[in-house]
Amino acid sequence: MKRWRKNFLTSTEIKESNFFHRPAMADEVLRFLINDRNGVYFDLTVGGGGHLRFISEVLSEQALLIGVDRDPEAVTEAKRNLNRASQKVQLVNRTFDELGRIAEDLAIREIDGILMDLGISSHQIDSPQRGFSFSSSGPLDMRMGGSSSTGLTAEVIVNEYSETNLLLLFRKYGESKYARRVAAAICKARRGGRITTTSRLTEVVESVLPARSTAALAALYQALRIEINRELDQLTEVLPQAVNLLKKNGRMVVISYHSLEDRIVKRFFAREAKGCICPPEIPVCVCEHKPTVRILTKKVIKPSADEIKENRRVRSARLRAVEKVE
């Protein structure tokens, strides 16, 4: 795969972008995703365009690249980072669970490759005003679509959800054993005034966590982010759309960063790769289900030690890939 690459990136170009970083597991993405150098490829979480820039290097000029992202800032930066691609590039500011409608609007009936890198972007983490990070102070927002978008915010959840609903949220999406004490601490603190910043929320949460519980704190922020952005619901909705749109021998690659995402992807791929999916108590198949994909990653693929050393944010990344068989 590496022999296909053109001299596309330079260190100067990379430094010019505050958004761009070497995307997670770039070599693995190329290895599992590319099956037709002339094909149509979707990146449903385009971010700053990092993966598409690498993908562009190995495709012919006849290929079509399409990037989708709910964050308008990401789409703007992706346009800048992809302006030297030799292929036609189209960028769409929508949520990826709209994949079927996006393809229809673009008059695309079949897709050769679909990529989803489900991790939050470095730009979002590193922008205090977005409210995703507990290590800096900013407004309690966490909307991936940005402050101009509508919808639920972290401030609304923290100040208006009941203690019971906070408990259930932190248990379900944060898988936190500290959910009960954190929910109680938040409700107690907000009686003294509305919690409006990440620094104040972190202070409240850390007051009831054991010392040096960074992972526990991150899990609670994760729970808020998932709730606000409907991340798991949208993932569940987009996977069957993606399989339906893949052409025969087309491929899909998904990179997840926590067990909730990975479990959804793993189970969906396993189901689609099976024949009969009737309950075991039914002796004769009545579902007539046929396998739609072949699993390319019998074992989940993890980043190399060298990549983790270079970028610790990828240490929890898990890659799974399938190929369409019908």
Which amino acid is it at 77? E
SS3 143: coil
* Interval 24-62: pLDDT, tens: 999 999 999 999 999 999 999 999 999 999 999 999 999
pTM (global) more than 0.85: yes
Residue 126 has pLDDT above 70, yes or no: no
Please report, for residues 107, 190, 197, the alpha-carbon distance to residue 156 in angstroms, rounded to integers and kept in the order given: 39, 12, 12
Higher confidence at residue 42 or residue 124? 42
Span of 95-99, 151-155, 251-255, 266-270 with lowest mean pLDDT: 151-155
Contact assessment for residue 253 and residue 115, using Cβ atoms and an 8 Å cutoff: yes
Please report, for residues 67, 86, 131, the alpha-carbon distance to residue 76 in angstroms, rounded to integers and kept in the order given: 11, 19, 20
What are 164's two structure tokens? 């019971």
Q: Which pLDDT score is estimated for 22?
A: 75
**Domains in the chain, CATH or no CATH each:** 2-123+232-324 (3.40.50.150), 131-230 (1.10.150.170)
* Interval 264-301: pLDDT, tens: 999 999 999 998 888 888 888 888 788 999 999 999 99
Number of Cα atoms under 13 Å in the Cβ half of residue 79: 10
* End-to-end Cα separation, the chain, in angstroms: 26
In this prediction, what percent of the chain has a pLDDT beyond 90?
77
Residue 65 has pLDDT above 80, yes or no: yes
Residue linked to tokens 């069957």: 240
